[in-house]
Amino acid sequence: MPLNDCIYEFLQHLSSQKRYSPNTIKSYQNDLTDFRDFIEQQYPDAGLPDIRLPLMKSWLASLKARNMESRSINRKMSAIRSFYKFLLRMNYVNSDPALSLTTLRTKKSLPSFVEERQMQRLQERSFFPKEFKGDTWYLIILLLYVTGLRVSELTGLRESDIDLAGANIKVLGKGNKERIVPVKKEILTLLEDYLSVVKKETGIVNPHLFTGKNGKPLSPASVYKIVKTTLSEVTTIRKKSPHVLRHTFATHLSNHGAAINAIKELLGHSSLAATQVYTHTSISRLKEIYKQAHPKS
């Protein structure tokens, strides 16, 4: 089977079976296209059975020669590993050379997050514009901060996912996995008021929680723009994205003593390793407080 056809089938699998977000699928597509282009340019006669470990290492060497950062190369290797697991499962290949790829060392950096005093300003309705736009922006920022949702999870929320009596929302996360996230009743009441008053008065009929004035669901790009514009008003951190609010949610929980396993479940992480970084963030914050407060520090 041609490599290009395999890539197409794999991307379809990520979309229909794994239910990955469009942004995640686009990232896989870019990485695998890069790999395919290298094969076609450097080894035009190579078929799928000819792609073995030495050839993969040649591709990785070409990425290093382009001065690509180790983190980006590791991401591409991760895409290749996932791709070859799929090929093996589909019996398109007899072995998986990607298993022998060695992850490169990277500089460990703590996730960016917004300080609590800065987030306090964003929890005030008066901070945002008036009417429909302001209501939408306010609730998007508030919900991202109090739930730690991914942007794709937020844009996928529907009215039926709100459980006022149970004080929670149902979230469809990565890999089509559902989880329940607790939310204060006051916030859920704000959401229901938003739906019953703002959306109904504009004549919007759509099951999605957040929509534009045109009645269509807000796109991840629209949410990114809202978050970036809003965070620019309160913080000077370089990254200003919905994922930063996810980091902020987890960091503030950790700083206030939440158990790492609880944070893992709230974030919808599949393994504890992905959540451990927030423990380091908490320790970093404690060191900062110690230096500021202790006379012998």
- From 48, 73, 100, give the residue that closes a domain: 100
Q: Under a CB-based contact definition with an 8 Å cutoff, are residues 151 and 223 in contact?
A: yes
DSSP labels, 200-249: HHTT---SBSSB-TTSSBPPHHHHHHHHHHHHTTT---S--SHHHHHHHH
pLDDT in tens, 115-169: 999 999 999 999 998 888 899 999 999 999 999 999 999 999 999 999 999 999 9
**Pair 183, 288 in one domain:** yes
Of 192, 137, 145, 147, which Cα lies nearest the Cα of 171? Answer: 147
> Which of 73, 100, 127 is a domain's end point?
100
For 8, residues 6+ apart whose C-beta sits below 8 A from its C-beta are none
What confidence score (pLDDT) does residue 62 get? 95
How far is Cα 188 from Cα 180, in angstroms, rounded to an integer?
Answer: 14
Q: Do residues 97 and 35 touch, judged by C-beta distance below 8 A?
A: no
The arithmetic mean of pLDDT across residues 278-296, rounded, is 73
Q: Is residue 210 part of a domain?
A: yes
Is 107 a member of any domain? no
Please check whether residue 234 lies inside any domain of the structure.
Answer: yes
Strand duo 162-163 + 168-172: pairing: antiparallel
**What's the pLDDT score for residue 297?**
54
Question: What pLDDT does 174 receive?
Answer: 83
Residues forming the active site: 150, 174, 243, 246, 269, 278
In this prediction, residue 237 carries a pLDDT of: 93
**Residue where one domain finishes, among candidates 100, 126, 145:** 100
Neighbours of 4 (CB within 10 A): 13
Sheet strand arrangement including 178-182: 162-163, 168-172, 178-182
Which of 181, 163, 182 lies closest to 171, judged by CA? 181
Residue 77 near residue 69, CB atoms below 8 Å: no
Q: What share of the chain in percent tops pLDDT 70? A: 97
pLDDT at 28: 96
Same domain, 199 and 278: yes
How does pLDDT run across 189-227, given as a tens digit for each residue? Answer: 999 999 887 777 777 778 899 988 778 889 999 999 999
Domain membership of residue 145 as a residue range = 116-293
pLDDT in tens, 14-72: 999 888 888 889 999 999 999 999 999 999 988 898 999 999 999 999 999 999 999 89
Q: What is the mean pLDDT of residues 287-291?
A: 73
User: Is the predicted pLDDT of residue 77 greater than 70, yes or no?
Assistant: yes
Say how far apart CA 274 and CA 255 lie, in whole Å.
17
Residue 21 and residue 68 in one domain: yes
96-110, 136-150, 198-212, 275-289, range with the lowest pLDDT: 275-289
